[in-house]
Amino acid sequence: MPAPAIFWFRRDLRLHDNPALIAAADGRPIVPLFVLDDEAPGMRPLGGASRWWLHHSLAELAAGLERRGLELVLRRGPAARILAEIAAETGADSIFAGSRPEPDAIARDRALIPALRQHGVTLTLVADSLLFSPRRLMTGAGEPFKVFTPFWRAALALGDPPASSGVPGLMPGPACRGDDLDDWRLLPSTPDWAGGLRAAWQPGETAARDRLARFVDRGLGDYGRLRDLPAVDGTSRLSPHLAWGEISPRQVWHAVRGREDGTGAAKFLSEVGWREFSYHLLLASPGLAEANWRADFDRFPWVEDKATFRAWRRGETGYPMVDAGMRELRSTGYMHNRVRMIAGSFLVKHLLTDWRRGEAWFWDNLVDADHANNAASWQWVAGSGADAAPYFRIFNPVLQGERYDPDGTYVRRWLPELGGLPATAIHKPWTLAKPPRDYPAPIVDHRLARDRALAAFQSLKTK
Ligand SMILES: Cc1cc2nc3c(=O)[nH]c(=O)nc-3n(C[C@H](O)[C@H](O)[C@H](O)COP(=O)(O)OP(=O)(O)OC[C@H]3O[C@@H](n4cnc5c(N)ncnc54)[C@H](O)[C@@H]3O)c2cc1C
């Protein structure tokens, strides 16, 4: 019998279409392992919503493994130490894992390979979280792409990614002591703020596969139009499942490619393409979550105002579309993409708050918090990023609301205090003769805020 292999689950919490798992299971008994290395230097600690998601995802993964006769081993601590310990305890001489296309994780993995070799253990990393290897995609000059359209064109020219695969035959390895998931205290307790998350989400691979199947069955023909309407269930809501690798982008790709939904399907895949592009940008600029991609933004005159930042976080800005989004986020750990753009733009442009503060808030509150997507999207919103929305294009939250939530269904859902307002006033309640008493007046005037933002942007050019 060959020596067992450790399969180290990371951001690939699935059994289907997991190439690293297939490589590990090739005739060897498997010791499945998840390491909570939440104090690793340089690695960003998980936000609260992600910790909630991780707890339930691990529980579901453990159940899936148990049905196949394997026990998921949970251990907390520095990965290098834990991996060496488990190898010694089980007699494993090899470790397999999905590679993580993030600079911090790459640096850690690079250091792990020789460290483990000293213990006679090999670490094999298999790419599995993106459709296309970000390093294969370069401009003609051998540089990373800075603009999405040519990036995606080059990606599509590579042809379909390999077909997705099923669950390999898994042979259980030696038993090994592990932690109790509850002892990790990933779930909030005092207070338990996760009621809205429980109501909105079912973490885990089974739910991810069901969600993909339902989304595709519904037909993607109208995706291009519906995806911008936050009141409508028009997008896949696969983002947290993709963020934790409960489903692979290849599975998504092939489920969609098999259907003839024309431009809707192509538009949907291009959104998955933005995820690829975000990782491409992160690898090109490892400090994407901390440093402006465009260096001239280092001189931007951000304003630090505790009161307005608090009002934004709590959904009390007086602009219904912004507030509805921020309350959706607080309640469910999710916000519709259109509203993320509106709320993000409001923070950065109307309030002149540094985008990094918004990024950090989203990181803590989103169930789909994703290092690359969150950082790249915030820089896109702020105008400081690659291929970003131009700074001078300032969303008017009233017009955005009237356009994308014309009858106010979305706003009413998250701001019940505005429930009785007519559609004509739902996005500007302050214009009513008697504005609702229990809803704040706007914390900034749109026109003044717009002029202030444009002046701040102009100052970059004159400094
Ligand atoms: C300020 C801001 C912060 C964001 N932070 C995150 C984040 O932390 N994690 C995250 O996954 N997405 C983030 N996004 C992108 C986008 O809002 C979400 O991916 C999308 O709303 C998820 O919903 P969905 O799965 O129904 O999307 P769908 O429309 O069904 O799209 C399918 C998949 O494509 C990817 N995708 C879609 N839009 C984008 C995009 N603009 N950029 C990158 N990938 C995209 C996601 O993986 C998504 O699940 C952010 C956007 C903004 C404006």
Q: What confidence tier does 16 reach under pLDDT thresholds 50, 70, 90?
A: very high
Determine whether 253 is an active site residue: no
Per-residue pLDDT at 390: 84
Q: Which of 377, 380, 404 to mutate to test the pocket of ligand 1 (most atoms within 8 A of CB)?
A: 377
CB-ligand 1 contact for 209 (6 Å cutoff): no
* 175 inside domain: no
Long-range interactions of 270-273: CB distance < 8 A, separation 24+: 270/152, 271/227, 272/131, 273/131, 273/148, 273/151, 273/152, 273/155
Helix (H, G, I), strand (E, B) or coil at 124: strand
**Rg (Cα) of the chain, in Å, rounded?**
23
Indicate which residue's Cα is closest to atom 1 of ligand 1.
378
**Same domain membership, residue 139 and residue 66:** no
* 189 inside domain: no
* 201 inside domain: no
Per-residue pLDDT at 167: 97
**Same domain membership, residue 149 and residue 43:** no
CA of 337 to the centre of ligand 1 (A): 6
CA of 336 to the centre of ligand 1 (A): 8
Range of the domain at 302: 295-462
Determine whether 274 is an active site residue: yes
* 457 inside domain: yes
**Same domain membership, residue 269 and residue 329:** no
Q: Which of 71, 85, 193, 302 is catalytic?
A: 302
**Same domain membership, residue 269 and residue 234:** yes
* 177 inside domain: no
Angle made by CA atoms 142, 146, 151, in degrees to the nearest 5: 75
**Same domain membership, residue 417 and residue 327:** yes
**Same domain membership, residue 139 and residue 16:** no
**Same domain membership, residue 274 and residue 357:** no
Distance from C-alpha of 45 to C-alpha of 277, rounded to nearest angstrom: 23
**Same domain membership, residue 332 and residue 216:** no
* 300 inside domain: yes
**Same domain membership, residue 254 and residue 401:** no
pTM: 0.97
Per-residue pLDDT at 261: 72
Where is the domain boundary, 262, 284, 306? 284
Determine whether 380 is an active site residue: no
Using left for φ > 0, alpha for ψ between -120 and 50, and beta otherwise, residue 285 falls in beta
* 266 inside domain: yes
* 48 inside domain: yes
Is the pLDDT confidence value at 236 over 90?
A: yes
- Cβ(12)–Cβ(129) under 8 Å? yes
- Cβ(245)–Cβ(14) under 8 Å? yes
**Same domain membership, residue 424 and residue 327:** yes
Question: For 197-213, how does the pLDDT look when each residue is reduced to its tens digit (9 = 90+)?
Answer: 999 999 999 999 999 99
Q: Which of 57-71, 259-273, 342-356, 425-439 has the lowest mean pLDDT?
A: 259-273
Average pLDDT, the chain: 95
**Same domain membership, residue 241 and residue 324:** no
Sign of CA dihedral 401, 402, 404, 409: positive
**Same domain membership, residue 374 and residue 444:** yes
Alpha helices in 8-167 (DSSP H): 19-24, 48-67, 79-90, 103-117, 148-157
Instruction: Single out the residue of 400, 60, 37 nearest to residue 411, CA to CA.
Output: 400
Question: For 278-290, how does the pLDDT look when each residue is reduced to its tens digit (9 = 90+)?
Answer: 999 999 999 999 9
Index of the ligand 1 atom closest to the CA of residue 343: 1
**CATH number for the domain including 28?**
3.40.50.620
Instruction: Single out the residue of 289, 288, 397 nearest to residue 340, CA to CA.
Output: 397
CA of 26 to the centre of ligand 1 (A): 35
Contacts with 247 (C-beta within 8 Å, 6 or more apart), sequence order: 14, 205, 208, 209, 212, 238, 241
Contacts with 369 (C-beta within 8 Å, 6 or more apart), sequence order: 46, 47, 49, 50, 243, 362, 363
Per-residue pLDDT at 463: 59
Number of domains in the chain: 3
CA of 274 to the centre of ligand 1 (A): 8
